[in-house]
Amino acid sequence: MTSAPLISVSELRRTYKVKTTGGWFSPTAELKAVDGVSFDIRPGETLGLVGESGCGKSTTAKLVLGLIPATSGKVVFEGKPVAADSKRAWREQRRRMQMVYQDPLGALDRRLPVGTQAMEPLDIFGEGTKVERRDRMLALFDAVGLPRTSVDRYPHELSGGQRQRVVLARALMLRPSLLVCDEPISALDVSIQAQVINLLKDLQEQLGVAYLFISHDLKVVRHVSHRVAVMYLGRIVESGRPEEIMRAPAHPYSQALISAVPSPRARGKERIVLEGDPPSPVDIPKGCAFHPRCPLATDRCRSEAPELHPFGEQRHVACHRAGVSITSARGAA
Amino acid sequence: MLAYIATRVGRAIFTIFLVLTFSFTILAATGDPALLIMSVDAPPEAIEAFRERYGLDASVWQQYIGYLGNLLQGNFGQSLRDGRDAWDVVVERIPLTLALTVPAFLLKIGIGIPAGIYAALHRNSFLDRLVMMISVAGYTVPSFVLGLILILIFAVNLGVLPSGGQDTWRHAILPIVTLGTAGAAIIARYTRSAMLEVLGQPYIRTARATGVPWPKAVRRHALPNAAIPTLTVVGLMVGSLIAGAVVVESVFSWPGVGRLLISAVANRDLMIVQAILLLVAVCMVTSNLLVDIAYGLIDPRLRGRSGSRKT
Amino acid sequence: MREPLVRINGLTIDFDTGQSNVRALHGFDLQIEKGEAVGIVGESGSGKSITWLGALGLLGPRARVAGSVRLDGREILGLGEREMAAIRGKRVAMIFQDPTSSLNPVHRIGQQLVESLVLHRGMSARSASAEARRLLERVQIAAAAQRLSEYPHELSGGMNQRVMIAMALAGEPDLLIADEPTTALDVTIQAQILEVLKEMRRETGMGLVIISHDLGIVAELADRVVVMYAGRPVETAPVSRIFDAPCHPYTRGLLAALPEIDGALERLVAIPGQVPEPHKLPPGCPFAPRCAQVNAKVCDETVPPMRAIAQDHAAACALIHTAKPEALRSLELA
């Protein structure tokens, strides 16, 4: 695919100043929520952003949409830079990029019928006549698999899965080319998750919308993404096609992450269990951020932070020891 | 922890300052005290002399600065009625007020807290509903209505207790009961909802699941956590120990600080009013401060060690 | 025959909602031998958690628990609170989903551990402190001595869950019930907790009930699995058979609907509809409205009982016995 990227993010950084204790005079430290993230998303494709808590994936989502300003770096959407300044140009861009959150009940107003809420984006941007808006809303309700009878229902009268569909319909009202989904199915029952996963894929095929799909759940990300980026402490440590990464992860953290996912097929297989908890984004270790927990760490890892470099076709890894398998290193030891 | 306290003290001082300024401004805007205190047909020279004597002829701003300056030297001004030091006038009334408010306070927590805890532990039982109904009655009936009713029953009809004045300890009974009732009702409600909230928490389930006997679980796990919100309410009540009895003192003719405040306002006795307001502000602010410090002692989450999670 | 450690018969749980009684658990039967690990799989509303909360008397006053729960032959349902408290923690321990909220925020970690130790092992405060430290080390918490004087909010979720496991071990129970112990944790931390649980079982020979919606976790820890739906058990089998030869349409639907980390990448087959609410259950089989193989005449009439299909493998489906197993497997799930 040689088409220009729909959205291009380069060296995005976002730091917060935090107080280390609660008082007025405590020293401030830097919290590096996002520490130099770059990626492209092509039209109609899905980039899965995967990582555990504190890795910066939700902050990245907000930076991409321009909901919070970046400390440095830039985001270019459909050829134009995204400025997080709430001015007119940005608000125009927002028609083309929307967000879907984890909690569908929280995303909907309890007091309004869902049909009205779904039409709101059209009302806000003044698109079409009243009749046209309603028609579009009904068409999208059909597309997301909601019965027309639900148009006048209130959010609490619908199930979790149905609510998430309403949220999706609303997000698609303005024909966005990019949908940022932040853990869109984590709050749903497992048997419903499959419905929404399939729906997202079908909508992508029908409408050509691209997704930035953020999740901690590798299994889901594998199913919906064309490309995956693994984040750790604000940086992307590995990116590439999901199948390649899941089958043969190159970065030690990816290896641990994938090995940690329990699978009925691989019961009793040897797992890579990392020591300790991830350090806080307030004091990121020098050198490679992962080295304190990495079973393969060397002196170089402790002093020199690795950059993302190409590793095979369409793959990038940020590791000095990329491609070394932890389990075989163990076996050899 | 030190930073926590220092912050709070700083804010406390600032609050007192705000109260002073605010009350000074309001009082200054309500009219000329000279005209009120001197009778209507006093000659203008007398009024002028009065004003001069008490510094009322200067501009409001100058009076304000002068007042602050005096305060810092411990001079609270003079009563416009009899020229005595405002400080003395107020302070001599404090023990009388405390004689009512302190026993009332003990009554409030002595009845309110156990009632609230009991109601929470036996939720939706008959006694719980009874306690809650009584408590609603307790804090919705205005204190002067309650006071008058009690006087009617005990002083007029039964004749067992005196209706006013402060000669013997018997005179104190009805005012204390009147004062304590509303407070007890409020504390009962707060304690009950604090307990209910705590009893629904996962760690209580853990305590039960690990085999801690229920009475012990309540004592060691629930109560300490329920104390935290209850402390706020109790703290506020401590703050009103000095001036919380204004209405009751009036109903029962009890010559405490409250009654003094009413008469001082009526007489535009500025310095007395300012002095009482200052006293009240200091009390409130101090009790809030003590509550905040107590919070920090009881609830380890507030001691300000955020951000650094260990691995 | 030797008496199993736990024998549950016909356990039912009703909740008094003020207006009516809603049945949340309809007749649960299970036997657990000493040292066995059983996995309970289900979604919300399946009754997987309340079964055990009810068995231990941990549900609130609105719950009515009926049936029989025997621990080592002794009936424990209906025992007074004090006798139940003696069993909880000492014979049967339970750990829950959100570890940080499950610990008392105003007590230090050491305090909470010592409380358990003094209670169940009659230790003096002093020896309890030393033992508390040893327990923390057993669950692989680094710098255990320092942790004892810390508060739950100062530790991470993973560490707090390990503290909970240590507390559960303090009483040296015969059975540990773990209710979604890793759901609130990151996946690499989850792997640590699963390791700790496995290690503890190896060391102590303790039995385990692992409750989860995640089949993978259950596969890791359990020898046997019970699948629950809408307050009823629908299938029970040894772990390998559940995944290799599931029989109940719900189990099969679940396996087809769950994304996996390995294996072929196929389109997920979603189960249509949603889980019925406890007060709106269909008259017959609770899964019938969503079942691809439903036969209205049979399935909507009565609730199918659990029937044995093979050795140690039972399912509650009326259709399984009317068709040969091969024919069943060839039926397509729409």
* Residue A103 in domain: no
pLDDT reading at B306 higher than 60: no
Q: Is C275 in contact with A261 (Cβ distance < 8 A)?
A: no
pLDDT in tens, B176-201: 998 888 889 989 999 999 999 999 99
- Please report, in angstroms and rounded to a whole number, the separation of the first and last CA atoms in chain B: 23
Instruction: Give CA–CA dist C169/C172, Å, rounded.
Output: 5
Q: Does B53 touch chain C (CB under 8 A)?
A: no
Long-range interactions of A55-59: CB distance < 8 A, separation 24+ = A55/A231, A55/A232, A55/A233, A55/A234, A55/A278, A56/A14, A56/A231, A56/A233, A56/A234, A56/A235, A56/A281, A57/A182, A57/A214, A57/A231, A58/A182, A58/A214, A59/A14, A59/A33, A59/A34
| Of the candidate ranges A32-41, B121-130, B225-234, C322-331, the one whose mean pLDDT is the lowest | C322-331
Q: Do A245 and A187 fall into the same domain?
A: yes
Residues B119 and B45 placed together within one structural domain of the fold: no
| Per-residue pLDDT, A172 | 92
- Quick check: helix, strand or coil at residue C79? coil
Using the predicted structure, report yes or no on whether residue C311 has a pLDDT greater than 90.
no
Burial of C8 (0-12, 13-18, 19+ CB in 10 A): buried
Question: Residues 90 to 109 of B: which have CB under 8 A from any A CB?
Answer: none
Q: Over range C161-181, report the average pLDDT.
A: 93
How many domains in chain B? 2
What integer is the mean pLDDT of A98-123? 90
A278 contact residues in B (CB cutoff 8 A): 311
**Which of A137, A157, A175 is the endpoint of a domain?**
A175
Q: Residue C330 pLDDT more than 60? A: no
SS3 B3: helix
How confident is the model over A132-150, as a mean pLDDT? 90
Q: A250 and A117: one domain? A: no
Q: Determine the pLDDT at residue B172.
A: 83
B306 belongs to a structural domain: no
Q: Is C291 exposed, middle or buried (0-12, 13-18, 19+ CB in 10 A)?
A: buried
Strand locations in C62-162 (E) = 63-71, 74-75, 92-95
Phi/psi for A34 (5° steps) reads -130, 125
The answer to whether residue B251 sits within a structural domain is yes
Confidence category of residue C321, pLDDT binned at 50, 70, 90: low
Q: Which of A278, A202, A198, A194 is nearest to A237 (CA)?
A: A278
Contacts of B306 in chain A (CB under 8 A): 19-22
Q: What pLDDT does B310 receive?
A: 37
The per-residue pLDDT for A12 is: 92
Give yes or no for a contact between B78 and B271, defined as CB atoms under 8 angstroms apart: yes
In a domain, A204, yes or no: yes
- A147 membership: H or E segment, kind and range: none
Mean pLDDT of chain B: 83
A35 is a domain residue = yes
Please name the chains neighbouring A, where neighbouring means 3+ C-beta pairs under 8 angstroms. Answer: B, C
**Residue A313, pLDDT score:** 84
Q: Is the pLDDT of residue C82 over 80?
A: yes
For B204-253, how does the pLDDT look when each residue is reduced to its tens digit (9 = 90+)? 999 999 999 999 999 999 999 998 888 888 888 888 887 778 888 888 88
Tell me, yes or no, whether B229 and B163 share the same domain: yes
Cβ-nearest to B212 among C87, C103, C115: C115
Selected residue with higher pLDDT from B214 and A3: B214
Residue range A187-208, pLDDT digits in tens: 888 888 899 999 999 999 999 9
pLDDT at A283: 77
In degrees to the nearest 10, what's the CA dihedral of B262, B263, B265, B266?
120
| Domain C-terminal end among B212, B228, B255 | B255
| Domain assignment present for A215 | yes
Residues B166, B28 share a domain: no
Summary count for chain A: helices (H), strands (E):
12, 12
What tokens appear for B10 in the block? 């700083």
- Whether the CB of A237 is below 8 Å from some CB of chain C: the reply is no
Q: Which of A138, A156, A175 is the last residue of a domain?
A: A175
Compute the average pLDDT of residues B267-293: 84
Note whether residue B296 is domain-resident: no
Report the neighbours of B using a cutoff of 3 or more CB pairs below 8 angstroms: A, C
What is the CA A23 to chain-centroid distance, rounded? 34
Candidates C88, C143, C153; nearest CB to B209: C88
Q: How confident is the model at residue B265 (pLDDT cuts 50, 70, 90)?
A: confident
Residue with the two structure tokens 């942790």: C147
On whether both A225 and A141 belong to a single domain, the answer is: no
Residue with tokens 């908890």: A277
Residue B249 in any domain: the answer is yes
pLDDT at residue B117, rounded to an integer? 93
pLDDT: is C222 or B59 the higher one? C222
Asked whether the beta carbons of C238 and C247 are under 8 A apart, the reply is no
Closest CA–CA distance from residue C8 to any residue of chain A (Å):
27
Domain encompassing residue B51: 2-86
Residue of higher predicted confidence among C262 and A141 = A141
> In this structure, are residues A28 and A52 in contact, taking their beta carbons and an 8 Å threshold?
no
Same domain, A190 and A276: yes
Q: Give me the residues of B, 5-44, that contact A with CB < 8 A.
A: 6-7
Last residue within a domain, chosen from B213, B231, B255: B255
pLDDT higher than threshold 50 for residue B5: yes
A240: domain range? Answer: 7-96+176-332
Q: Are B57 and B151 part of one and the same domain?
A: no
* pLDDT band per the 50, 70, 90 thresholds, residue A1: very low
Q: What tokens does C52 get? A: 């055990």
Average pLDDT over residues A166-180: 93
Confidence tier at A25 by pLDDT (50, 70, 90): low
Q: Is A200 an 8 Å CB contact of chain C? A: no
Smallest Cβ–Cβ distance between C106 and the set B207, B213, B300 belongs to B300
Residues B134 and B249 in one domain: yes
Statement to judge: residues B22 and B164 lie in one domain:
no
Helix runs in A147-298, H state only: 160-172, 190-207, 218-224, 242-247, 252-260
Same domain, B73 and B160: no
The reply to whether B37 and B139 lie within a common domain is: no
Per-residue pLDDT, A331: 66
The reply to whether B158 and B207 lie within a common domain is yes
**% pLDDT > 90, chain B:** 20
The answer to whether the beta carbons of residues C320 and C329 sit under 8 Å apart is no
**Same domain as A249, residue A209:** yes
Nearby residues of A210 by Cβ (< 8 Å), 6 or more positions away: A6, A7, A41, A42, A43, A44, A45, A46, A47, A177, A178, A179, A204
Cβ(B213)–Cβ(C84) under 8 Å? Answer: no
Q: Does B198 touch chain C (CB under 8 A)?
A: no
pLDDT (0 to 100) of residue C327:
47
Q: Are residues A148 and A277 in the same domain?
A: no
Residue of B198, B148, B211 whose CA lies nearest to B177: B148
End-to-end alpha carbon distance in chain C: 45
For chains A and C, count residue pairs whose Cβ atoms are closer than 8 Å.
123
Beta bridge pairs of residue C15: C22, C63
pLDDT in tens, B241-255: 877 788 888 888 888
Whether the per-residue pLDDT at A209 is higher than 90: the answer is yes
Rounded distance between C-alpha atoms, residue A264 and residue C244, angstroms: 10
Instruction: For residues A324 and A180, state if they share a domain.
Output: yes
A126 touches chain C (CB under 8 A): no
Helix orientation angle between B257-266 and B94-121, rounded to the nearest 10 degrees? 120
CB contact under 8 Å between B214 and C119, yes or no, is no
**Is A208 within a domain?**
yes
C11-34, pLDDT tens digit by residue? 999 998 888 889 999 999 999 999
Which pLDDT score is estimated for A97? 92
B81-86 long-range contacts, CB within 8 A, separation 24+: B81/B37, B81/B267, B81/B269, B86/B271, B86/B272, B86/B274, B86/B275
Task: Cite the beta strand spans of chain B per DSSP E.
Answer: none
Same domain, B59 and B115: no
The pLDDT of residue A24 is 55
Q: Which residues pair with A80 in a beta bridge?
A: A77
> Any idea what DSSP says for residue A130?
H
Residue B286 domain flag: no
Tokens encoding A199 = 């729906």
- Predicted confidence at residue C227, as pLDDT, reads 95
Question: Could you tell me if B31 and B112 lie in one domain?
Answer: no
Question: Residue C34 has which token pair?
Answer: 């000493």
User: Which pLDDT does position C2 carry in this prediction?
Assistant: 76
Determine whether the interchain pair A22/B302 forms a contact, defined as Cβ–Cβ distance below 8 Å. Answer: yes
Q: Are residues A273 and A181 in the same domain?
A: yes
Residue pair B31/B268 in contact (Cβ under 8 Å)? The answer is yes
List chain A residues with CB under 8 Å of C255: 264
Backbone phi, then psi, for C237, in 5-degree steps? -165, 165
Same domain, A314 and A269: yes
Residue B301 lies in a domain: no
Q: Would you say residue A224 lies in a domain?
A: yes
Looking at every residue in chain C, the average pLDDT score rounds to 88
Length of chain B: 311
Task: Give dist(CA C334, CA C331) in Å, integer.
Answer: 9
Q: For chain A, how far is it from start to end, CA to CA, in angstroms?
A: 43
Residue C25 is predicted with a pLDDT of 93
A197 and A118 housed in the same domain: no
Residues A264 and A327 in one domain: yes
Q: What is the CA radius of gyration of chain B?
A: 24
Q: What's the predicted TM-score (pTM) here?
A: 0.84
Amino acid at A70: A
pLDDT at B35: 67
One domain for residues B108 and B64? no
With respect to residue B283, please indicate whether it lies within any of the assigned structural domains.
no
Q: Give the tens place of pLDDT for each residue, C103-154.
A: 999 999 999 999 999 999 888 888 999 999 999 998 888 888 899 999 999 8
Check residues A193 and B76 and name the one with the higher pLDDT. A193
Residue B307's pLDDT is: 37
User: Pick from B34, B58, B86: which residue ends a domain?
Assistant: B86
Residue at which a domain ends, from A155, A175, A195: A175
Q: What's the DSSP call for residue C56? A: T
| Domain co-membership, A92 together with A145 | no
- Are C265 and A193 an interchain contact pair (Cβ–Cβ within 8 Å)? no
- How many domains, chain A? 2
Exposed/middle/buried for B141, CB within 10 Å: 0-12, 13-18, 19+? Answer: middle
Beta bridge partners of C8: C30, C69
Q: How much is the ipTM here?
A: 0.86
Highest mean pLDDT out of A170-174, A296-300, B153-157, B173-177? A170-174
CB–CB contact C85 B301 (8 Å): no
Nearest-CB residue to A21 (from B6, B306, B311): B306
Pick the residue from chain C with its C-alpha nearest to A244.
C262
Phi, psi dihedral angles at B109 (to 5 degrees): -80, -30
Contacts of B307 in chain A (CB under 8 A): 18-21, 29, 31, 280, 282
